[in-house]
Amino acid sequence: MALAAGARGPVRALLLAGAGLARRAAGGGGDGARRFSSQRVLVEPDPAAGVAVMRFKNPPVNSLSLQFLTEFVISLEKLENDKGFRGVVLTSDCPSVFSAGLDLTEMCGRNPAHYAEYWKAVQELWLRLYLSNLVLVAAINGACPAGGCLMALTCDYRVMADNPKYTIGLNETQLGIVAPFWFKDTLVNTVGHRVAEQALQLGLLFPPAEALRVGLVDRVVPEDQVQSTALSVMAQWMAIPEHARQLTKRLMRKATADHLLRQRDADVQNFVSFVSRDSIQKSLQAYLKRLRQKKG
């Protein structure tokens, strides 16, 4: 209870800080179903089932820009507060990519205040997802590195497409950066300490079969069955008495969330001073340049 209240404060601050953005993102009125959707997050509600599908639509790779994060958290909060919905499937509207993770352009060539705002929004995304009262099922229909993997790991269940071109993992070290401790905690809770230690140090990206073997995902199915499988898994989870399931989820996850909540400001400061370093800025800029050349 204290925890939920604690999480709510900062999010409200975040939303107020980006209020113009939020208003734009949320739109003004419309019918019940459409009012959930924003530019970057399509919400397809199925009120009869009490389930909504949230589709990430931030082309080309669903990177977690500040605007995407803001719209996502607003859409999620609406579903949390609507008693008609008890489960959400997270999936991608972009071909071949679930989410590429953090948006490097938010971390590059900006000022410290921007870095801080951005990092708070990433923290907020994780806190909202990890402690969500909704049943969350990830329908992983594309590549799922770094922050994309983090979003999948916050879900209660992960279904992945059986396409060996798609991989999943926290590959931060491959880019020369370090996954924050709460990314690490989330991974350890999912695959255990030893698999996490090796995967994080090497920045491993697991193809579906390997991801299943180490427990990074729970089921691998043909690509065209990812969403239907996610929905049938959802039905199993929704059959459980609601309040008991929510309290049990909190029982499992509260200590991990508290770990971040206790040092949220320090974690922001740590991020800001890290990305502000010349060496990091240079390597991020070089990396972005290579990305742009690839596309061009």
Scanning the chain, the segments in alpha helix (DSSP H) are 2-17, 19-26, 32-35, 66-81, 112-130, 146-153, 181-191, 193-202, 208-214, 226-238, 242-262, 264-276, 278-295
For the chain, give the number of residues: 296
Q: Does 248 bind a copy of itself (CB under 8 A)?
A: yes
Is 262 a residue that touches a copy of itself (CB under 8 A)? no
> Among residues 240, 265, 285, 286, which is the contact residue for a copy of itself, using CB under 8 A?
240
Residue closer to a copy of itself by CB (options 27, 215) is 215
State which of residues 59, 60, 112, 215 lies at the interface with a copy of itself (CB under 8 A). 215
91 near 234, Cβ under 8 Å? no
Stretch that binds a copy of itself, among 78-86, 141-149, 221-229, 249-257 (CB under 8 A): 249-257
Touching a copy of itself, residues 172-201 (CB under 8 A): 172-179, 181, 184, 188-194, 196-198, 200-201
Give yes or no: 102 in active site: yes
| CB of 176 vs a copy of itself, minimal distance in Å | 4
Question: CA-based angle 69:183:73, to the nearest 5?
Answer: 20
CB of 277 to a copy of itself, least distance (A): 11
Place of tokens 């992945």: 160
Q: Stretches 19-27, 112-120, 161-169, 250-258: which one binds a copy of itself (CB under 8 A)?
A: 250-258
Q: How far apart are CA 231 and CA 224, in angstroms?
A: 13
Q: Got the DSSP string for 118-165?
A: HHHHHHHHHHHHHT-SSEEEEEE-EEEEHHHHHHHHTSSEEEEE--TT
- The answer to the question of residue 157 lying near a copy of itself (CB under 8 A) is yes
- As a whole number of angstroms, the distance between CA 296 and CA 286 comes to 15
CA separation for the pair 12, 127 (Å, rounded): 13
x-or-dash pattern for a copy of itself, window 99-138, by CB under 8 A?
----------------------------------------
Sequence-ordered list of residues with C-beta below 8 angstroms from that of 286, at least 6 positions apart, any chain? none
Nearer residue to a copy of itself within complex by CB, 39 or 248: 248
Contact positions vs a copy of itself (CB under 8 A): 156-157, 172-179, 181, 184, 188-194, 196-198, 200-203, 215, 218, 236-237, 240-241, 243-245, 247-249, 251-253
Q: Point out the residues that are catalytic.
A: 102, 147, 171-172
